[in-house]
Chain A
Amino acid sequence: MSDTDQTAPIGPYPPTEAMLAEPVPSEEQARTKAELKAAWAPPRGWRYFTAVNNSEVGLWYALTAFGFMLLAGVLALVMRLQLAVPDNDLISADRFNQFFTMHGSAMMFLFAVPMFEAIAILILPAFLGGRDMPFPRLSAFGFWCFVIGGVFVMGSLLFDSAPTAGWFMYPPLATHDEGPGSDIWLLGLSFIEIASIAAAVELIVGALKCRPPGMRVNIMPLYVWYVLVVGGMILFAFPPLIAGDFLFELERSFDWPFFDPTRGGDPMLWQHLFWIFGHPEVYIVFLPSIAIAAMVVPTVARRPIVGYSWIVLSAVGTGFLSFGLWVHHMFTTGLPNLSLGFFSAASEAVVIPTGIQLFAFAATLIAGRVKTSLPMLWIAGALAIFTAGGLTGVMLAIAPFNWQVHDTYFIVAHLHYTLFGGMVFPVIAGVYYFYPFIRKKMLSERLGRWAFWLIFTGFNVTFLPMHLTGLLGMPRRVFTYSAEMGWGWLNMISTLGVFVIAAGFIVFVWDLLRPKGNQTQVPRNPWDAGTLEWSHDVPEEYWGARSIPHITSRYPLWDDDQLVTRMDAGRYYLPDSPHGHRETLVSSMIDASPELVQRVTGPTWITLLAAGFTGGAFIFPTFHMYPPAIVSGAFAVVCILWWLWTSTARLPEDEMRDAGLGLRLPTYASGPKAVGWWAVWITMLGDATAFASVVFGFFFYWTAKSDFPPEGALHATPALVGLAVAALVTSWALTLGARHWNRAGRVGVARAALAAAPMLTAGGCGALILSVQQLEPTSHVYPAILWALMIWVVAHALVGIIMQLYCLAGSLTGKLTPRFDADLWNSTLFWHFLCLTALVCGAIMGLAPKVL
């Protein structure tokens, strides 16, 4: 490496105390402050909605998710009224079924998971002393997708056409269902699942690559650890459901019999795919909320957390174990006892890491000098409720007991105990705790206590009796029951309780929304907390952190009393914005050593447009309007390409930039040094998981069904499959070659490779499509799943073609050069995965019929 190397940091690091103690001249402070302010100014007026800042998008996200939660809560109120007395006819069976389906779906998909994403987007950069998330426009795109999908799915209630098959949509009930209900659920929520994966990618990259200098893995705030674990879980949990949705919608739209037992399908496959998603999902909801407790508890105990490593272990361990629990939702499906035993065992094992977290909190409170606060009251309530839910969970994990209470009100009680204790209460604690950070105002202590006692009491009055209701034999999801059953008084109590909960929420919402203009300015660190987010500016500034600090401990605000003053003075990194760009610091994954100044994107309409068209591509098929869906999808692709072309991997003005404290950092990176490359890597990991789920489907049919493949079935044409795989692999080799040749300066050869590769890809797609032409996908599940594999590969290959052409265009227009080649690196990475997909698909289609 020489002095002319423009890709590595130059200068002293870490900063010495002497460097940090040197004051910043006041005129420089004023100049850099003005530069930052200008670069991060939020859009005004009607352009406000073009904002992509984490502080704006996170807030919209949270409010929207909360709004959906209130709507889903109203559905619950109506259901409780219907069940208050036996033989009631307040609402019809059909409406009741729509309501409970939407209550569950909305609480899970429109509240719990998005709320995690919202809170993480809102506060993660602050924990990291950062400016923004690495991909602000991706957050905005995800948010708009969420709004459009959510309104569409919830809106179906108004037209009396909401899904009615329950939030886990078991086929054949859901596949037979007439009307668009099931399609609305599938397409609307698939759309939102994709938004969730986008958020997960963003959060993982944020937590790994955007930490402040010096924040090594052993001093990351616990919240960041949890975000990392949960992001990883989303990446592996959501794709199986997306794969399930893919098969399900093919059955709904084209009658391909994946779940139809009369033609070789099996409804069990959906249950597996759904719960491989569904159980980790419970922990995806629970862990980030308990992470809030992990931030509140040390503040209350006024000491660092006891058992930091234990909590990290618990989060990681829970993340792993939660993938071995899914069959405990299927204990009554008649699987062999032995199989149930494994899941029973894993379900008990997962209690241990969960318990460790609670005991670590208790240990912190024991070792600390406790100063209780309103957020702690909510956390204590959460613990009381969650431990009860956890203990009933221990009971339910014992398979034979589960045979009695599965699908009864005992389950309804259990799941509400875990979700209120594990999610709702900690999140409200978080709202009280972080409100001064988010809105620069305080919420009312008095109203907060009222809300707490109303919700806490109401909750227990509603749900505690339900355990008994279930044991007395009341199944869940019944719209009525007969007076003779003796469940009337229990249901009446539950209904009364639910209105107390509602009263509590009214108090809470009023406290959130009431005007607070006349409040005195909040102190910067009202709880005397030790983590970086409390270095925020009051009154609000939009730049995130005035300068990005160098961190050496877990609770920097407690351990370094100069830190905030120096941040404010712009003493640390990136205090300025010489070109008026929005920038943030990218650092190494383990030790957070600064590596790069990353330019981040600013306000735009394009994300909104892209989300709108993507919405169209998902919503039109619900009504079997395929041409508009295709047009809409094409427009979405155009919007996304425009967005990428104009705002990612832009050529920098200067290759290096003074980052402060004598450190000069590069401003452009490609390959593994670039955040974009990691985003592609993580996305493709999720995509590969979805593909693996479809492949799992193939082998599931083989194990579960004796007629798979059926006697004398036609197979895919092996020669054509082989040809297709060869073409795709060659196309991959050309893409990889293009990257090398381009780097080596042989631009002409690289362009030729990038021009030839799409043609090969197209040829490969053609061969693969032809290879299954003689198969009739509606006749049996075997040809259907071969078609599904073919569609999967072809769809990905089309994206691959777009990427190859995008790189070719970049090379021809000078956006992509031998030195600035990030797009080519990212495309090659995509192609690595595509090549692997093609090989697996080829092996199954071409070889499996001979082996099985």
Chain B
Amino acid sequence: MSGGLIRTLHLGSTRRTRAPMLIAPALLAACEGQQSALAPAGSDARVLDDLFWVMLVGAVILWLLINGLFFYVTRINRAALSRRFANGLIVVGGVIFPTVVLGALLTYGLSIMPDQRAPGEGLTLRVTGEQWWWRVEYWPDGADAPIIAANEIRLPTGQRSEIVLDSARVIHSFWIPALGGKMDMFPGRESRMSLMPETPGRWRGQCAEFCGASHALMAFDVVAMPLADFTAWLQMQAAPARPPATDAAERGAQIFAREGCGACHAVRGTEARGAVGPDLTHVGSRLSLGAGTLKTTLTDFERWITHTGAIKPEVEMPAYDYLTDTDLSDLAQYLKGLE
């Protein structure tokens, strides 16, 4: 009940608390990053953004009061002042005031926790942290087999989706600042979170728990789309890979098979069934390559295949730098064609 009351209160204060941003247009511009907690696009992130501005304003006022007091007594008025006032200050400033303020803040904080972890409805995602990429499974309501993807999260707007997290080897942390808080991914232990995107659009998430050499290069794209679009997209993802459309792509498919890529990567509908690396069935339609590191242009496919270790230190995939330029170009054509 108190939670509801507070929610109403701070919804009312949303507009007011944005004032500091308007005062600082430079900050405002900076807040609009694709990975910013200050540019919320989901209900959880929005609540946390409000919480932040409330706390920031409070913190700035308190900082000014405390340090102003010290400045006053050491610089402006150095004479001995009232001992009674001094004692009163300890009791009021040191005990009563903070107990009330912190108690209220704690209540506010606790009141928003249950909603942030409310169970999802409909879609469940299962994301597994790998070194250094993301294995993604979509489990629509009632599905008995997942739709497998990698390094990209798509979510329907206006509904809360459940996300089940775990990890293959070391601890990672799954974080989409624009949609909500983060949750760690443990090997051998499932953790759960849920997110509710509000605005359709494209954002970015990144691993937040240090996970080894290429921790810095473990990111992913996030797309929030209206439910109808999302359903259509998911259906497309469920389909097997498109056959190569050009001769070059056809040759690329042969090179893919010849080099043994299928030992690690799956391309559904072909012989490639490896599960060590990311599923490539629809890699051509993804927004990025190498877990948020490169674009999915032909050049970037070529760069990635030939310079894996240089782009992403200690990555498991070997660099195929011995491929001839034509082979490489054909292979890139093939992969790019896997839309």
Task: List residues of A whose CB falls within 8 A of some B CB.
Answer: 92-94, 97, 164-166, 170, 172-173, 176, 261-262, 266-268, 300, 303, 306-307, 310, 332-334, 337, 340-341, 344-345, 348-349, 351-352, 355-356, 358-360, 362-372, 376, 380, 383-384, 387-388, 391-392, 394-395, 398-408, 468, 471-473, 475-482, 484-487, 490
Pair B109/A399 contact, Cβ less than 8 Å: yes
Of B44-52, B138-146, B270-278, the one with at least 4 CB within 8 A of chain A: B44-52
What residues of chain B lie closer than 8 Å to A485, measured between beta carbons? 33-35
10 more A-B residue pairs beyond the given contacts A267-B171, A400-B48, with a C-beta to C-beta distance below 8 A? A94-B314, A97-B212, A170-B210, A332-B182, A332-B208, A334-B184, A371-B78, A402-B181, A479-B216, A480-B217
A-B contact pairs, 27 of them (CB 8 A): A165-B210, A268-B189, A333-B186, A348-B102, A349-B102, A362-B73, A362-B86, A365-B73, A367-B83, A369-B79, A371-B78, A372-B78, A383-B66, A387-B66, A394-B102, A395-B52, A395-B55, A398-B106, A400-B47, A400-B109, A401-B109, A404-B52, A405-B37, A408-B208, A471-B37, A473-B37, A482-B293
Enumerate B152-196 residues with CB–CB distance to A below 8 Å. Answer: 165, 169-171, 173, 175, 177, 180-184, 186-189, 191-193
User: Which of A267, A359, A366, A408 has the most chain B CB atoms closer than 10 A to its own CB?
Assistant: A366
Contacts A267-B186, A400-B109 given; does A334 touch B52 at CB 8 Å: no
B89-A366 in contact (CB<8A):
yes
| Closest beta carbon of chain B to A100's beta carbon, Å | 9
Shortest 3 CB-CB contacts between residues of A and residues of B = A261-B188, A403-B181, A473-B35
CB distance from A292 to the nearest CB of B (A): 16
**In the complex, how many angstroms separate the beta carbon of A488 from the nearest chain B beta carbon?**
11
B30 lies within 8 A of chain A by Cβ? yes
What B residues does A408 contact at CB under 8 A? 208
Contact of B240 with A by CB under 8 A = no
Chain B residues lying within 8 Å of A97, measured Cβ to Cβ, are 210, 212-213
A362 and B106 in contact, given A261-B189, A477-B210, A478-B216 (Cβ under 8 angstroms): no
Contacts of A351 in B (CB 8 A): 98, 102
Task: Answer yes or no: B285 CB below 8 A from chain A CBs.
Answer: no
Find out whether the CB atom of B74 lies under 8 angstroms from the CB atom of A355.
Answer: no
**B89 partner, pick from A359, A383, A387, A405, beta carbons under 8 A:** A359
| Residue of A371, A403, A490 touching B182 (CB-CB under 8 A) | A403
Tell me, in angstroms, the Cα distance from A363 to B82 when the chains sit together: 9
Q: Is B207 an interface residue (CB 8 A)?
A: yes
B1 within 8 A of A: no
Q: Are A355 and B188 in contact (CB under 8 A)?
A: no
> How many inter-chain contacts with C-beta < 8 Å in the A-B complex?
267
Contact present for A173 and B170 (CB under 8 Å): yes
Q: A332-B184, A407-B182 are in contact. Are A401 and B52 (CB under 8 A)?
A: yes
Tell me if A348 and B105 are in contact (CB < 8 A). yes
The reply on B27 being an interface residue by CB < 8 A is: yes
Residues of B contacting A356 with CB < 8 Å? Answer: 90, 94-95
Given the complex of chains A and B, what is the CA–CA distance between A170 and B85 in angstroms? 49
A333, B184: Cβ atoms under 8 Å?
Answer: yes
| B310: nearest chain-A partner, CB-CB | A89
The binding surface of chain A is classed by DSSP as helix
Q: Given A261-B189, A473-B177, are A401 and B51 also a contact pair (CB < 8 Å)?
A: yes
Q: Determine the chain A residues whose CB is within 8 A of the CB of B319 once the complex forms.
A: none
Task: With CB as the reference atom, state the residue of chain A lying closest to B101.
Answer: A394
Q: Which of B94, B171, B208, B293 is packed against the most chain A CB atoms within 10 Å?
A: B94
Contact pattern, B 119-137, Cβ under 8 Å of A = 1, otherwise 0: 0000000000000000000
Q: Are A268's CB and B177's CB within 8 A?
A: no
Chain A residues whose CB sits within 8 angstroms of the CB of B187 once the complex forms: 172, 261-262, 267
| Given A363-B87, A380-B70, A481-B216, A355 contacting B98 (CB threshold 8 A) | yes
The interface residues of chain B lying within 8 Å CB-to-CB of A300 are 74
CA distance A401 to B55 in the complex (A): 10
| Chain B, Cβ-Cβ closest to A406 | B182
**A345 (CB) vs chain B CBs: closest residue:** B106
CB-based nearest B residue for A356: B94
Taking each of B56, B71, B181, B211, which has the highest tally of chain A beta carbons within 10 Å of its own beta carbon?
A: B181
CA distance A344 to B102 in the complex (A): 11
Asked, given contacts A92-B313, A333-B186, whether A400 binds B181 with beta carbons under 8 Å apart, the answer is: yes
Residues of B contacting A399 in the complex (Cβ-Cβ under 8 angstroms): 109, 113
Q: Which of B90, B182, B193 has the most CB of A within 10 A?
A: B90
Are the CB atoms of B213 and A94 closer together than 8 Å? yes
Contact call A94/B313, Cβ cutoff below 8 A? yes
Question: Taking the complex as formed, is B38 at the interface, i.e. its CB lies under 8 A from any CB of chain A?
Answer: yes
B62 within 8 A of A: yes
State the CA gap A306–B80 with chains docked (Å).
Answer: 12
Asked if B106 and A348 sit within 8 Å, CB to CB, the answer is yes
What's the Cα separation between A484 and B203 when bound, in Å?
A: 12
A528 to chain B, nearest CB (A): 15
- How far is A166 from B93 in the complex, measured between Cα atoms in Å? 39
Q: A172-B171, A173-B171, A471-B36 are in contact. Are A398 and B51 (CB under 8 A)?
A: yes
Interface residue ranges of B274-326 to A (CB < 8 Å) = 293, 313-314
In the complex, are the beta carbons of A388 and B37 less than 8 A apart?
Answer: no
Q: Which A residues are CB-close (under 8 A) to B234?
A: none
Given A337-B113, A392-B59, A473-B33, residue A370 in contact with residue B74 (CB < 8 A)? yes
User: Across the interface, do A366 and B210 meet the contact criterion of CB distance under 8 Å?
Assistant: no
Please, which residues of chain B bring their CB within 8 A of the CB of A332? 173, 181-184, 208-209
CA distance A235 to B204 in the complex (A): 45
Q: Among the listed B56, B75, B95, B180, which residue makes an inter-chain contact with A403, where contact means beta carbons less than 8 Å apart? A: B180
Complex CA distance for A176 and B189, rounded to whole angstroms? 18
The answer to whether B112 and A475 touch across the interface, beta carbons within 8 angstroms, is: no
* Residues in A neighbouring B99, C-beta threshold 8 A: 352
Verify if B18 is at the interface (C-beta below 8 Å from A): no
B16 within 8 Å of A by Cβ?
Answer: no
Looking across the interface, which residue of chain A has its beta carbon closest to that of B117?
A337
**Would you call B257 an interface residue if the criterion is a C-beta within 8 Å of the partner chain's C-beta atoms?**
no
In whole angstroms, how far apart are the Cα atoms of A94 and B212 in the complex? 9
- A400 near B112 with CB under 8 A, answer yes
List, in ascending order, chain B residues with CB within 8 A of A369's CB.
Answer: 78-80
Among candidates B35, B59, B89, B108, residue contacting A391 with C-beta atoms closer than 8 Å: B59
Partner of A344 from B51, B109, B206 at Cβ < 8 Å: B109
In the assembled complex, the CB of A476 is this many whole angstroms from the nearest CB of chain B, namely 8
A394 & B78 in contact (Cβ 8 Å cutoff): no
Distance (Å) between the CB of B6 and the closest chain A CB? 13
Report whether A407 and B59 are in contact in the complex, using a CB–CB cutoff of 8 Å.
no
Q: How far is the CA of A509 from the CA of B48 in the complex (A)?
A: 44
> How far apart sit A384 and B208, CA to CA, in the bound complex (Å)?
30
| Per-residue contact bits, chain B 244-263, to A (CB 8 Å; 1 contact, 0 not) | 00000000000000000000
Contact across chains for B188 and A262 when beta carbons are under 8 A apart: yes
Which of A303, A392, A479 contacts B80 (CB under 8 A)?
A303
For A486, the chain B residues whose CB sits under 8 A away are: 30, 33
State in angstroms the CA–CA spacing of A311 and B82 once bound together.
20
- Residue from A173, A176, A372, A481 in contact with B210 in the complex, judged by beta carbons closer than 8 Å: A173
Task: Report whether B33 and A359 are in contact in the complex, using a CB–CB cutoff of 8 Å.
Answer: no
Q: Flag if B78 contacts A403 (CB, 8 Å).
A: no
**How far does the alpha carbon of A170 sit from the alpha carbon of B184 in the complex, in Å?**
12
Contact B182 A344 (CB under 8 A): no
**Separation of A490 and B29 alpha carbons in the complex (Å):** 13
Name the distance in Å between A127's Cβ and chain B's nearest Cβ.
Answer: 24
Given contacts A365-B73, A384-B67, contact A170 B171 (CB under 8 A): yes
A338, chain B: closest CB distance, angstroms? 9
Residues of A within 8 A of B105 (CB): 348, 394, 398
- Choose among B31, B171, B313 the residue that contacts A93 (Cβ–Cβ < 8 A): B313
- Residues of chain B contacted by A478 (CB below 8 angstroms): 215-216
Of chain B, the residue at the smallest CB distance from A469 is: B30
The one of A92, A348, A472 in contact with B33, judged by C-beta atoms closer than 8 angstroms, is A472
Q: Is the CB of B206 within 8 A of A475?
A: yes
Q: Which residues of A contact B211 (CB under 8 A)?
A: 173
Whether B181 lies near A366 (C-beta < 8 A) is no
State the CA gap A93–B94 with chains docked (Å).
Answer: 46
Residues of B near A405 (CB, < 8 A) are: 37
CB distance from B170 to the nearest CB of A (A): 4
Q: A166-B210, A262-B188, A400-B113 are in contact. Are A344 and B78 (CB under 8 A)?
A: no
